[in-house]
Amino acid sequence: VSNSYHQQGVGIVGAGLVGCLAALAFNAKGFSVTLFEYRDDPSKTKNDNLRSINLAVSARGIRALKYVDEEMAERILEHIIPMKGRMIHDLDGNQTSQLYGLFGEAINSIDRSFLNECLLEEIRHTDIKVLFNHKLVAFEKNHGEDQTPKMTFIDTSEGDAASKTFEFDYIVGADGAHSQFRTQLQRTMRMNYSQEYIDMQYIELYIPPSESAKDDSKFLLNPNHLHIWPRTNHMLIALANKDGSFTCTFFSPWSVIEGITSTEQWISFFKKNFKDAYDLIGEARLATVYETHPRGSLLQVNVYPYHSPDGRAILLGDAAHSMVPFYGQGMNCGFEDVRTLMELIDEKGGDVLEAFRSYTEIRKADLDAICKLALDNYHEMSHKVTSLWYLTRKRIDSLLGKLNGKYFQWIPLYTMVSFRDDIRYSQAIEIEKRQGRFLNNIQYGFLSAVAVTSLIKGLQMWGRRT
Ligand code: FAD
């Protein structure tokens, strides 16, 4: 980011992944940034968050990091583990690799808390003011004659009585799926809003590093794959960490987990469905998980528009579009929000009000598209990856993808979403629809040909007999 705008004040609510990147991006453009975070400073507290998940960072996220600061991106990317495909584990523990990319492309595993801490560390080297233990409780638009919006926070380090009010030229709400800023903003404008809980829960588990192995083989599973144990209506996934461990996530409908009523039942369920993972995790750890780890719920949130009518406030990241995690795009998309907004600010010559307005206009189709894709991908991960129809389709899709540009244009959907940062999510859906129709014709055409040939053969045999 090279442009520099005069010192206008930007207040950002939420120092999660998106809030931090937005703070760095505004700061790099010369804005005076204050970042508010409900939690305590993670560098001063022990992380006992049992929901510390691994994220897959892919092309869009990486492009946004590089856009904000190329060197920062390099520093962060040193800590990723590339995953070039899925490793499917069947009930007998057999593993089959399915590559993601056509030419060895990979998505990248990184611990969410670690990434958040990396971004906060970058922030510590800037003049961004970070106020931890500040919980947003109120927002008022058009305060005073200069139309400056006002936010009220409780300083939780000083007790409930310590409420403080701040005024900014512009406000960014990046306080996550349950955004308080969004709730406050909705009171001041006509904002469409929908929230849907998906009938799905998740629990985090852990595969430790190998105790006996030397440094180069400290992983008990292949680290360069996203491991999946697809079991139709539930599944387990595992992503590698740098220390040789794997963070696993068990996803299932609520009825499955609620149907398990004791530690013994949970252990035998696990042993039956994920025998090889059971061996790696161990019974004692599984028992602890069942007894102490929280069950997370998954929800989809959509809002429209993303900015306030006066153009002074905007929602980014999960606060604007919480999606289910099955395409690994929530954060990547949030990072892309930041880049998109910054490019608009440049395009509008530093007119933030105009940039906020244009952002809503151009971003809606893409945010709707990725929320839909994320939901659809659950069926692919939990079920379709093992079906012959899907596997054949994938083969043809990949083959055509490899020929892309030679005789025709063909880019598989996964490539468009995860490995390309120049194709909008909404475009990806449109292109996939066209390609999908063609693949259907090939597959149904092939099936019809087989059916007709069998019918002819059957009739010939019948004719010979009579
Ligand atoms: P958050 O990370 O939720 O941050 C919001 C911040 O705001 C928090 O720090 C919070 O403390 C703070 N806050 C909240 N309320 C207030 C308040 N009142 N006042 C002040 N501060 C407040 N995405 C990917 O791209 N790839 C993946 O592989 C992936 N896997 C996932 C797996 C799972 C199981 C889940 C649940 C999500 C996954 N995601 C993934 C999605 C990703 O985690 C989110 O999209 C991302 O964390 C959103 O970042 P955010 O900054 O918008 O919100």
Q: For all residues of the chain together, what is the average pLDDT?
A: 91
Mean pLDDT of 34-61: 83
Whole-number CA gyration radius for the chain: 25
For residue 41, give the DSSP letter: P
pLDDT of residue 462 exceeding 90: no
> Which H helix or E strand runs over 150?
strand 148-155
Distance between Cα 215 and ligand 1 center (Å)? 32
Cα–Cα distance measured from residue 364 to residue 307, given in angstroms and rounded to the nearest whole number: 12
Q: List, as own/partner pairs, every contact residues 209-214 make where C-beta atoms lie below 8 angstroms and the sequence separation is at least 24, other chains included.
A: 209/243, 209/244, 209/245, 210/244, 213/244
Sheet containing strand 81-83, edge to edge, reads: 54-57, 107-111, 81-83
Q: Of 12, 17, 331, which is best to mutate to test ligand 1, by the most ligand atoms within 8 angstroms of its C-beta?
A: 331
Residue 160's pLDDT is what?
63
Span 164-185, pLDDT tens digits: 999 999 999 999 999 999 999 9
What type of residue sits at position 38?
Answer: Y
Best residue for ligand 1 mutational test, from 12, 24, 51, 53 (most atoms within 8 Å of Cβ): 53
Is the pLDDT at 338 greater than 50? The verdict is yes
pLDDT of residue 236 exceeding 90, the answer is yes
Pairing of strands 225-231, 85-89: parallel
Of all atoms in ligand 1, which is nearest to the CA of residue 329?
25
CA 333 to ligand 1 centroid distance, Å: 12
* Contact (CB, 8 A) for 441 and 430: no
Mean pLDDT of all residues in 419-424: 97
Question: Is residue 438's pLDDT more than 80?
Answer: yes
Give the position, in ligand 1's atom list, of the atom nearest the Cα of 333: 25
Q: Which residues of 431-465 are buried (b: 16+ CB within 10 A; e: fewer)?
A: bbeebeeebeeeeeeeeeeeeeeeeeeeeeeeeee
- The 3-state secondary structure of 261-303 reads CCHHHHHHHHHHHCHHHHHHHCHHHHHHHHHHCCCEEEEEEEE
Q: Which residue's C-alpha comes closest to atom 35 of ligand 1?
A: 325
Distance 318 CA to ligand 1 centre (A): 6
Q: Where are the domains of the chain?
A: 9-80+112-195+301-377, 196-297, 387-465
Residue 46: the pLDDT is 65
pLDDT category of residue 145 using cuts at 50, 70 and 90: low
User: DSSP secondary-structure letter at 348?
Assistant: T
Q: Give the separation between CA 230 and CA 326, rounded to whole angstroms.
A: 13
Length reported for the chain: 466
Q: Using the predicted structure, report yes or no on whether residue 50 has a pLDDT greater than 50.
A: no
* β pairing state of 107-111 and 54-57: antiparallel
DSSP letters spanning 357-385: HHHHHHHHHHHHHHHHHHHHHHHHHHTGG
Phi, psi of 89, rounded to the nearest 5 degrees? -105, 120
Residue 113, CB half-sphere, CA atoms under 13 Å: how many?
15
CATH number of the structural domain 196-297: 3.30.9.30
Q: What is the architecture of the domain spanning 9-80+112-195+301-377?
A: 3-Layer(bba) Sandwich (3.50)
The per-residue pLDDT for 215 is 56
Per-residue pLDDT at 79: 94
Distance 171 CA to ligand 1 centre (A): 18
Ligand 1 centroid–CA 366 distance in Å is 19
Please identify, by atom number, the ligand 1 atom nearest to the C-alpha of residue 180: 18
**pLDDT reported for residue 158:** 77
Q: What are the DSSP calls for 327-339, one per residue?
A: GS-HHHHHHHHHH
> How much is the pLDDT for 52?
59
Each residue's pLDDT tens digit, 102-125:
899 999 999 999 999 999 999 999
Two structure tokens written together for 443: 């597959």
Q: What pLDDT sits at residue 21?
A: 98
76 falls in which pLDDT band (50, 70, 90)? Answer: very high
Long-range contacts of 389-392 (CB under 8 A, 24+ apart): 389/443, 392/443
pLDDT of residue 2: 40
Helix (H, G, I), strand (E, B) or coil at 166: strand
Question: For a pocket test of ligand 1, which of 100, 200, 318 has the largest count of ligand atoms closer than 8 A to its C-beta?
Answer: 318
pLDDT at 376: 87
pLDDT value, residue 213: 58
Looking at mean pLDDT, say which of 189-193, 207-211, 395-399 comes out highest. 189-193
**What per-residue confidence (pLDDT) applies to 455?**
81
Cα–Cα nearest to 14, from 148, 176, 127, 160:
176
pLDDT in the model for residue 3: 44
| pLDDT the model gives residue 159 | 67
Residue owning tokens 């960014």 = 172
What is the Cα–Cα distance from 176 to 52, expressed in whole angstroms? 15
DSSP H or E stretch at residue 32:
strand 32-36
- Least confident segment among 65-79, 219-233, 317-331, 379-393: 379-393
* ∠ CA 268-270-271, rounded to 5°: 65
Has residue 440 got a pLDDT over 70? yes
